[in-house]
A and B are shown apart, each in its own frame.
Chain A
């Protein structure tokens, strides 16, 4: 654990402005040339209840939330004091302080609002402070805020105190405040910021070592979440139709898209349920638009039926699945990777879809674009699978990642000339043509027409159908149509493999051991790999983003090259490991799972310890909520 980084945690009650304050603070750190990674922890509750946001800032690239943290700003939960119903709210007043102590590093800083929090209520507080060499600053942030404006502005007072204690320049924070507000509110906030800053400098001796690192990034960066990546990737692919029903954490993508679509001449529809949402995307796509929908676990379950419809009618759509902890409603605001098999195999019959699992916001952007391209070129549903951690967590990304040309191509569609020719030659257009020689083209794809095109009329049927779209139960036709649709996956696998950056490996090429993962664990594993190699181990990692079709060759190569591999995932039943084994049909003897499903994302140290526990030594895992499991079969 190094302290060339700041991991700042702001804690308080939901609804107290923790999120917006942390966003601004994170941006201020980015503007001072640092790389930033944010992690949100919040309860499934609107107001009150313990919540925190962690911001990790470092001059080096930051890929995860890091291990624990070193600076606590404990604000107090104003809703814990709600006098209306003590029985319900209970005594949560000291939680912003008490709940966060376990993860505070040795030598860490505590700033707490003595106007709302009473440290003497916490058991053994002074002893713990001494033991851990914590540096405590108690400030009446509430009083200061009240004096100059309103109580809620105590966030600003906390940021001012933070800036003083870390020797930060107030310039960036003030700039961001001026962008966000004006008039009396701005005035009051600036006053509070400065007064807190000055009073800390005047009244307190700074006894701690932690300072904000010096930022040297001169590359233009933006602070975005995975949901922004997905939304922006969609927009750049010309997606102008989205339909959805609110569900955490999918709502992030839905609302970002809805903010922009009307101004971009697009359409966003909030509809009655997720069956409708996916069906609307199908209807819009059938009529010629680029369309998407999405949900989280429970809502995606409702989309199972339209998903099958999109497959058999070969209507391109992109669905987003933002995983949260299940089963059923599970833990709505906590991340998990437990919907993998749900997404891979849900719906009727033999599954036939494309699934991408990006690992960070930049990949969210790139792979969503890829999902649209593949969906429209191959007329197949594509799913972008990510989770709550990536959905709301922000990260600095080079601006140039988004500097790509739009691609509004709607894929394999006929032209009017094609239709004239088809009608002349065959009497009518064959939408589901299966003779390659007659132009059905790449990998089982037969081009489609769009309603309104002359000579192109056809029936898109959810029943098995013949070449012109009529319902058919003919055995030969069935076999051919199934083969044609299923065959698309092989063609897509080949196309994806052509990309030079396809499934990159992180770490030394000739490493002895491997770590396999998918999705949002990417960054934390890369950090763990660096640490393990620094400690004398020999490890490399592969974060698989193409889940279906599975990159069999690349993963086989990776696993052949190592003695053993850990498979790290956030679920209890090792779904990804089973998927790897199922796709490759081997390697059971080489694979060990490291599983975590307590509602919190992995920290690098857990991956390091997991690795050492199984493959390189005998680390003790008992302090973590993780589990090692060996694979079955071979």
Chain B
């Protein structure tokens, strides 16, 4: 059956296929870190081997949400903080799709924090990219959940009294089975991590450090990065929750002291994805639900056959 004929198509895939015929400069400022995410994602797609038509990119709102406008695939530009619930249902309806969700730090860790926690807990097989620039960009520079304590903005003129969110630790404790951090100024690592995240069979969370040259000139997104896998100073087992957790704590503390540690922090290849768990309990069909609507021979059950209990 070929209900979705683009799915599973085997051919050479070129990163340019993911470029639509529009100008990305339309809303992103010159020097914006978001360009780095877009580029890394386009570079990763041929590595993963998925075509634009079998890929669904769901985004939230804000500068980061525009990613779906500049990336050619099936796209869904949803609402602030809600990319994950839209994305995970699409994945459940058709698990054969490559599903990617993306949004900013306000979108993902603020307004969408609840969805982040629960999607990670369920371990849906998808990739979640959070553009982390420690600021609300599109609404013109307000303090975000990842802004450092003391950060001054128009809405926090005396400096924020709040500790920033710790995204890596939060992802891990919530249940994400792949957690990494990369940065727009580090394109090779970013491409590798996104590739690995997409290939991972479970919820892959990528905290993607992006610089905001317009509203957050002071952020450490400009300082040199250390890749925890490449550095001899850091030795930990990324499959061990405890060690990964300690390493994340260190990275999260260090970030606000000016040392940026990136790389893979946790990778659990054994944990079944939500889809597998749900299929194991008999709560989800083996075949993609969506295909059934294109199958003329499928025998649809009727409610009439359920009426015995009401007689």
Contact = CB atoms under 8 A, between A and B. Distances in A.
Interface of A: 27, 31, 220-224, 228, 231-233, 235-236, 238, 240-241, 243, 260, 262, 264-269, 271-273, 275-277, 279-291, 305-306, 308-309, 313, 365, 399, 402-406, 408-410, 416, 450-463, 469-471
B231 interface: no
Contact of A222 (B58, B93, B307): B307
Contacts of A288: 4, 93-94, 289-291, 293-294
24 contacts: A27-B311, A222-B307, A223-B310, A231-B303, A235-B301, A235-B306, A265-B287, A265-B292, A280-B88, A283-B87, A284-B92, A286-B86, A289-B94, A399-B304, A404-B304, A405-B302, A416-B5, A450-B4, A451-B97, A456-B53, A457-B74, A457-B75, A459-B69, A460-B77
Contacts of A453: 4-6, 53
Interface stretch (B31-39, B145-153, B238-246, B277-285): B277-285
A541 B189 CA distance: 71
B293 A238 contact: yes
Contacts of B205: none
Contacts, number: 221
B302 A281 contact: no
Which 3 pairs show the lowest CB-CB distances between chains A and B?
Answer: A452-B4, A283-B89, A288-B290
B86 A280 contact: yes
Contacts of A267: 92-93, 278, 283-285, 289
B300 A408 contact: yes
Please report whether the interface of chain A is mostly helix, strand, loop or mixed according to DSSP: mixed
B254 interface: no
B79 interface: yes
B13 to A, nearest CB: 14
Contacts of B91: 287
Q: Determine which residue in B66, B69, B79, B87 has the highest number of CB atoms from chain A within 10 A of its CB, and name it.
A: B79
Given A240-B289, A451-B74, A452-B96, A283 B310 contact: no
B154 to A, nearest CB: 24
Of B76, B89, B278, most buried by chain A (CB within 10 Å of CB) is: B89
B307 A238 contact: no
B273 interface: no
Nearest to B285: A265
Contact of B90 (A277, A283, A402): A283
A243 B93 CA distance: 12
B246 to A, nearest CB: 29
A284 B93 contact: yes
Given A276-B114, A402-B303, A453-B5, 11 more contacts: A222-B311, A233-B303, A235-B302, A267-B283, A267-B284, A283-B86, A283-B89, A284-B92, A305-B79, A408-B293, A452-B5
B78 to A, nearest CB: 6
Contacts of B87: 283
Contacts of B300: 238, 406, 408
A17 to B, nearest CB: 18
A384 to B, nearest CB: 15
A279 B96 contact: no
A406 B303 CA distance: 9
A461 B60 CA distance: 10
Nearest to B284: A267
B6 A452 contact: yes
B7 interface: yes
Given A238-B300, A273-B114, A289-B293, A454 B90 contact: no
A291 B89 contact: yes
A287 B90 contact: yes
B212 interface: no
Given A283-B88, A306-B79, A452-B54, A262 B282 contact: yes
Q: Which of B69, B77, B93, B117 has the most CB of A within 10 A?
A: B93
Contacts of B79: 279, 305-306, 308-309, 462
A221 B307 CA distance: 10
Given A264-B301, A283-B76, A453-B6, A228 B310 contact: yes
B43 interface: no
A264 B289 CA distance: 11
A228 B300 CA distance: 18
B172 to A, nearest CB: 19
A279 to B, nearest CB: 4
A89 B72 CA distance: 63
A451 B69 contact: no
A363 to B, nearest CB: 15
A306 B82 contact: yes
A271 B289 CA distance: 19
Contact of B89 (A284, A405, A451, A457): A284
Given A282-B86, A291-B89, A462-B61, A266 B77 contact: no
